[in-house]
Amino acid sequence: MTDTRSAPAVPAVPATPTAQLALKADPAALARLRADRRRATLRSFGRSLLNALITFVVLLVLWQAVVSLTGISPYVAKGPVDVWRFLFVGEDAGAHRDQLMPLLGQTLLDSVTGFVVGMLVAIALAVAFSLSSAVEAGVMPLVLLLRTIPLVSIAPVIILITGRGTTASVAVIGTVVVLFPALANVLFGLSRASRQSLDVVHVYGGGRFTALRKVNIPGALPSVFAAMRVSVPSAVTGALLAEWLSTGTGIGGAILKFNAQAQFAQLWTSIALITIITLLLYNLVQIIENIVLARMGMSVSIA
């Protein structure tokens, strides 16, 4: 449901000392600038919440339609109302929450681990590729290889190296899932730096590192946030795979047990919880992105 249109940019505080002094000398202009920033932040926040609500309602409608119209046995298929009763209304709802919430917390922890490590590796590789074409030529084929090989087929090797059930196995599997889309987005952002700004840095004696720090990285912030948004569902998927293939904990490990034991209410509730958490995390990143970009005077995306 992501829309690539951009809202009008909010003027940022000018970076030059002369412009900053001019703003300080004109309190009215500074107040207007701050008011514009606040309005843009509130608009982006409200837009993100509305989009999240619309997505949530569409998911509920589709879910109920699948359960009601496909003719699947009610013993197997559980709808939104069944899950709500199971988790909040039924006599054993408290026990059900006590059973599922620790599993959800573990999956969240594994997702954050894969997300953070994958994003850090992607940003580090993107910076290295920007600084050296030789590094890009040597490493990019390996990244593409990891992307093309099914993760299930290389997971045994990853687990053999990192150990079964270890945090390292979760981090590596999550990184493999997150890495390529995040790297592609960050590389795209770094490559779109303003040529005029780079020339200014070089004219004043700045080297490649200075240009990267002053121009490329700040200009790549929208792409970095886009990479983060794309990586949120990927990190959750990586965490579920790691739990299924390596640790046996969290929602990923429990889903197999629920299915084998015909505990379909627990199964559907687990899937619903993961879907809701993924949606919330995605929109949280979207809100942070819009706030940061609005304060920096960059265009904000509409998710």
The boundaries of the domain holding residue 210 are 79-292
How far apart are alpha carbons 51 and 242 in whole angstroms?
30
Whether 39 maps to a domain, the answer reads no
Say if residue 296's pLDDT is above 80: no
58 is a domain residue = no
38 lies in some domain: no
- In this predicted structure, what is the pLDDT of residue 12? 45
- Rounded-to-integer distance, Cα 111 and Cα 239, Å: 5
The verdict on residue 177 lying in a domain is yes
Q: Are 221 and 293 in contact (CB under 8 A)?
A: yes
Does residue 208 contact residue 201 with C-beta atoms inside 8 Å?
Answer: no
- pLDDT tens, residue by residue, 47-102: 878 888 898 899 999 999 988 888 888 889 999 999 999 999 888 889 999 999 99
Say how far residue 260 (Cα) sits from the centre of its chain: 31
What's at 51, amino acid-wise?
Answer: N
pLDDT digits (tens, 9 = 90+) for 97-139: 999 999 999 999 999 999 999 999 999 999 999 888 899 898 9
Question: Is 21 a member of any domain?
Answer: no
Per the structure, the count of domains in the chain is: 1
Cα–Cα nearest to 154, from 250, 238, 253:
238
CATH number for the domain that contains residue 174: 1.10.3720.10
Tell me if 301 is assigned to some domain. no
* Dmax (CA) of the chain: 73
Element of type H or E holding 129: helix 93-131
Give the pLDDT score at 274.
Answer: 94
Q: In one letter, which amino acid is 34?
A: R
Q: Is the residue at 43 inside a domain?
A: no
Confirm whether 26 is domain-assigned. Answer: no
pLDDT of residue 114: 94
- Residue 6 pLDDT > 50: no
pTM above 0.95, yes or no: no
pLDDT tens digits, residue range 248-289? 899 999 998 998 898 999 999 999 999 999 999 998 898 888
* Residue-wise pLDDT tens digits, 218-248: 888 999 999 999 999 999 999 999 999 899 8
Residue 192 DSSP class: T
